[in-house]
Amino acid sequence: MKTVGSLFSGIGGLEYGLEQTGNFKTIWNCEIEAYPSAVLRKHWPECPNLGDITKVDWNNVRTPDVLCGGFPCQDISVAGKGAGIKEGTRSGLWSEFAKAIRILRPRYVVVENVPMLVKLGLHIVLADLAEAGYDAEWHNISACMQGAPHTRERLFIMAYSRNNRRDISLHSECRYCNHQWQKKKEMQERGNIQLDTSEGSWWAVEPRMDRVADGIPSQVDRIKCLGNAVVPQVAQVVGEMILEMEKKKED
C-alpha cells in the first residue's frame, strides 16, 4: 500500500481516485478553505489537514510515496488574465508545491492543472522538478475518455526521482495516447457513443442553478468545489499508470 500526501486538496478528488485502485492510502491533506476542508474531514477523518500551505514546516511532515496536487489555475486558465506562474498571485503558489517536493523528496509526484499550463508555465514546473532531481512526463487526459458527458481536459505531470529511474516511459504505456482511444473520443464527439446521464447515474449532470435558492444550504460552495475538483475516474487511471510502472520495474 503506497502512501499519498495531497496538496491543494479541495474535496479530495485526486487522492480518492488514487485510492480507488486499491493500492494507495492517503495519510494527510493540505487545504485552507473551510467548506472543502469539512468534506475532507468527512471522508478522511483520520488524516490531518495541514491547512495553509505557505505556513507548513515540511521538515516535520511525514514523507509520502506519492505527493499529489493541483495548484491554483486562476492565473493560467483561459478564464483568467493569463498572468502565469511567475506573476500570478494564485498560480504562483506552485513555488510552495516545489518547496514541499524539495524537502519531502517523495518517490513520485503527480501535478494536475489546466492544459493552458503548457503555454503559461510548464517550463517553470519542469525546471523546478529537474532542479529537485526529478524526471517528468505529462499527459493531457479528458474526463470524456472515462465516459463523462463533458470533455474537461486536464494536464497531468507525473514525475519520479532520478534515484527511482525506470527504463520504460509512461508515455508509451498511456492508453490515452494511442490511436484507439483517440478514435473513441472522436466517435463520442460525433455522438456515436451514448452516455448515461439519467438522474442517479454516476455521470448524472449537475442540475442547473441560475440563482441561489433559499433552503439549499451550501449549494453554491458544493458547485464551486465540484467545478474545481479532479475527476476521480481520471485520477484512478493515473494511479494505475504508476502501479504498472512499479510492476515493470519488479519484472
Q: Is 47 a residue of the active site?
A: no
Residue-wise DSSP of 96-148: HHHHHHHHH--SEEEEEE-GGGGTTTHHHHHHHHHHTTEEEEEEEEEGGGGT-
Determine how many CB atoms are found less than 10 A away from the CB of residue 187. 11
Question: 112 burial class (0-12, 13-18, 19+ CB within 10 angstroms)?
Answer: buried
Among the listed residues 30, 47, 68, 73, the single catalytic one is: 73
**Cα separation of 124 and 130, whole Å?**
10
Q: Let me know the angle formed at the C-alpha of 206 by 205 and 210, rounded to the nearest 5 degrees.
A: 130
**Cα separation of 33 and 10, whole Å?**
8
Catalytic center residues: 73
